[in-house]
Chains A and B, each alone.
Chain A
Amino acid sequence: MSSHMSSRGLPEFELLIPRTSPEAMDMLAQHRDQLSILNGGTALWNYVRGRNRVTPYVLSLSALKGLDYINEIPGDGLRIGAKATIAQLIEHPAVSAKYAALHESGYWFGNPTVRNMATVMGNVLRASPSADCSCALLALGCQVILQNKSGQRAVDIDDFWLSYDVTARKPDELAVEIRIPEPKATTRSAFQRLTRVRQDLAKLNVAVRLEMDKGVCQQARIAIGCVGPTTMRVKKTEALLQGKAINDSLLEQLATSVRGEISPIDDQRSTALYRQQVAGVIVKRTISRAAADKGATQ
């Protein structure tokens, strides 16, 4: 009797479960693009089931030790290991205290079960323009540390997503750590997303980081997702904020500018027209909330 009766199966592959990092590096070097890396599995398995196709090899990170950390290094910043989950992220006191945009992106993420499985790294490596933590990370700025047999390199998040589903990772590399620079006492950040119901993927998400000085914005980074093939920055709009006090007329200018900088498309979650309109509104709200230092997880 068929044993696949009671639930949907996965296409066939050979599963590799390395126990040490050198073992994992050897497997990556040997199988390269014939291999998929499996972390929490919350994105990979839906991707695979959607296409009913998978690479011949799947390398599970499940038995690798010492990668599930989130460490705050005073004077340096935050380091997130490859296996750290969204649940760990939102429970970390330094993340909620100093990296508000990232905390909020985790707080609104999926549902509790998915947050226990999904990793921050998997969110970045999935290279989807709707990814929430990725949006916050682009606004905060960070580096992704990639490792292969011969060593490590750091790639700036601004250069990491090349197009939909394509990253700067080479086939023999494992992404091992995310490094976020330490914010100043005057750095503010916030994240907001729009979904139909809570656990949906975003129709639109926005994250901002502002360097404030007595009510004046010295520098800004604004990231928007679901409006192009990758999560993107709106640099012309960012420039409008430089050296300005944040008030209603500036916020109106920013909203108009954002609408001119993006060219969203229609898809199953929303329409281009709606996204175009609402992006300006959400950018305004996220900036005022960041500037006022008001969290959005209550």
Chain B
Amino acid sequence: MKTRSITLCVNGRDYTFEVPHNRTLLQALRDDLKLTDTKYGCGSGECGGCTVLINGKDNINSCLTLAAEMEGKHITTVGGLTKNGQLHPIQQAFVELGAIQCGFCTPGMVMKTASLLAHNPNPSEDDIRRGLEGNICRCTGYENIIRAVQKASQMINASATQCAGGACS
């Protein structure tokens, strides 16, 4: 099996390792780097469980991306939002508003929210519903997730955080 050496910058840290050419970013994160905070749901772009941010802003499906194509890009996973043990406002809002039940969709939902708020700090309810499309939740019925995104947006605007993903440093 062909392999190549790649360097991935994940949550501000560089990792250099060998991957088979057909390695997806999701496999590299979970299986090689043991960063299991990013979830595998469908492997086909339908569920959003594997959502990560590229360059602090844009959300992509790591199940449809090859690890080797991500050289030189900054990748943020949900673990990268937590700074010094402090939850990011998005995570805090999800906890406070009961937007988490089983929690399987939560990493993807939180990363999609981070991307949405980075592009649109004051989304309307419609913007939020459209912005979170592609991320499926089996448990919550979505209502509390919408409220949590609204609350997160208020918290972030109040603290005037410039980069919603917290990953621009």
- CB within 8 Å for A112 and B112 given contacts A6-B36, A60-B69, A199-B133: yes
* Total residues of chain B contacting the partner, CB 8 A: 40
Kindly list chain A residues whose C-beta atoms are within 8 Å of the C-beta of B69.
17, 38, 60, 62
Determine if B27 and A198 form an interchain contact, defined as CB atoms under 8 angstroms apart: no
Closest partner residue, chain A, to B32 (CB atom): A3
Determine if B22 and A13 form an interchain contact, defined as CB atoms under 8 angstroms apart: yes
Please measure, in the bound complex, the distance between the C-alpha atom of A189 and the C-alpha atom of B36, giving whole angstroms: 47
- CB within 8 Å for A15 and B64 given contacts A6-B40, A112-B134: no
Interface residues of B in 56-80 (CB under 8 A from A): 58-61, 63-66, 68-69
Interface residues of B in 98-131 (CB under 8 A from A): 112, 115-116, 130-131
Kindly list chain A residues whose C-beta atoms are within 8 Å of the C-beta of B26.
7
Please measure, in the bound complex, the distance between the C-alpha atom of A10 and the C-alpha atom of B67, giving whole angstroms: 12
Residue B2 at the chain A interface, CB threshold 8 Å: yes
Residue B138 at the chain A interface, CB threshold 8 Å: no
| A9 interface neighbour in B4, B27, B44, B45, Cβ under 8 Å | B27
Determine if A113 and B31 form an interchain contact, defined as CB atoms under 8 angstroms apart: no
| A12 interface neighbour in B1, B45, B63, Cβ under 8 Å | B1
Determine if B27 and A112 form an interchain contact, defined as CB atoms under 8 angstroms apart: no
Please measure, in the bound complex, the distance between the C-alpha atom of A15 and the C-alpha atom of B19, giving whole angstroms: 11
Contact residues of B with A, CB < 8 Å?
1-2, 4, 20-22, 24, 26-27, 30-32, 36, 40, 43-46, 48, 50-51, 58-61, 63-66, 68-69, 112, 115-116, 130-135
Determine if B133 and A111 form an interchain contact, defined as CB atoms under 8 angstroms apart: yes
Binary CB contact string for chain A from 270 to 296 against chain B (1 if under 8 A, 0 otherwise): 000000000000000000000000000
Kindly list chain B residues whose C-beta atoms are within 8 Å of the C-beta of A6.
27, 30-31, 36, 40
Kindly list chain A residues whose C-beta atoms are within 8 Å of the C-beta of B130.
112
Interface centre among A4, A14, A112 (most CB of B within 10 A): A112
Determine if A4 and B21 form an interchain contact, defined as CB atoms under 8 angstroms apart: no
| B68 interface neighbour in A8, A15, A42, A45, Cβ under 8 Å | A15
What 7 A-B pairs have minimum CB-CB distances, sorted nearest first? A111-B134, A7-B40, A15-B21, A8-B43, A62-B69, A111-B133, A10-B22
Chain A-chain B contacts (Cβ-Cβ < 8 Å), number:
105
Kindly list chain A residues whose C-beta atoms are within 8 Å of the C-beta of B64.
40-42, 45-46, 117
Please measure, in the bound complex, the distance between the C-alpha atom of A47 and the C-alpha atom of B157, giving whole angstroms: 42
Binary CB contact string for chain A from 216 to 240 against chain B (1 if under 8 A, 0 otherwise): 0000000000000000000000000
For chain B, what secondary structure do more than half of its interface residues adopt (helix, strand, loop), or is it mixed?
mixed
Please measure, in the bound complex, the distance between the C-alpha atom of A62 and the C-alpha atom of B54, giving whole angstroms: 14
Kindly list chain A residues whose C-beta atoms are within 8 Å of the C-beta of B20.
12
For chain A, what secondary structure do more than half of its interface residues adopt (helix, strand, loop), or is it mixed?
loop
- CB within 8 Å for A10 and B24 given contacts A46-B44, A113-B134, A114-B134: yes
| B134 interface neighbour in A40, A45, A49, A110, Cβ under 8 Å | A110
Binary CB contact string for chain A from 109 to 125 against chain B (1 if under 8 A, 0 otherwise): 01111101100000000
Please measure, in the bound complex, the distance between the C-alpha atom of A111 and the C-alpha atom of B50, giving whole angstroms: 14
* Total residues of chain A contacting the partner, CB 8 A: 33
* Selected A-B contacts with CB under 8 Å, 10 pairs: A6-B36, A12-B20, A45-B64, A111-B133, A112-B132, A112-B133, A113-B134, A113-B135, A114-B45, A117-B65
Q: How far is the CB of B153 from chain A (nearest CB, A)?
A: 16
Residue A5 at the chain B interface, CB threshold 8 Å: yes
Kindly list chain A residues whose C-beta atoms are within 8 Å of the C-beta of B1.
12
Determine if B21 and A12 form an interchain contact, defined as CB atoms under 8 angstroms apart: yes
Residue A181 at the chain B interface, CB threshold 8 Å: no
Interface residues of A in 131-145 (CB under 8 A from B): none
Determine if B58 and A116 form an interchain contact, defined as CB atoms under 8 angstroms apart: yes
Determine if A12 and B22 form an interchain contact, defined as CB atoms under 8 angstroms apart: yes
Residue A11 at the chain B interface, CB threshold 8 Å: yes
Kindly list chain B residues whose C-beta atoms are within 8 Å of the C-beta of A110.
45, 134
Binary CB contact string for chain A from 41 to 58 against chain B (1 if under 8 A, 0 otherwise): 110011001000000001
Q: How far is the CB of A26 from chain B (nearest CB, A)?
A: 19
Q: How far is the CB of A8 from chain B (nearest CB, A)?
A: 4
Determine if B22 and A113 form an interchain contact, defined as CB atoms under 8 angstroms apart: no
Determine if B131 and A49 form an interchain contact, defined as CB atoms under 8 angstroms apart: no
Kindly list chain A residues whose C-beta atoms are within 8 Å of the C-beta of B45.
42, 46, 110, 113-114
Kindly list chain B residues whose C-beta atoms are within 8 Å of the C-beta of A40.
64
Determine if A198 and B31 form an interchain contact, defined as CB atoms under 8 angstroms apart: no
- CB within 8 Å for A5 and B31 given contacts A17-B68, A46-B44: yes
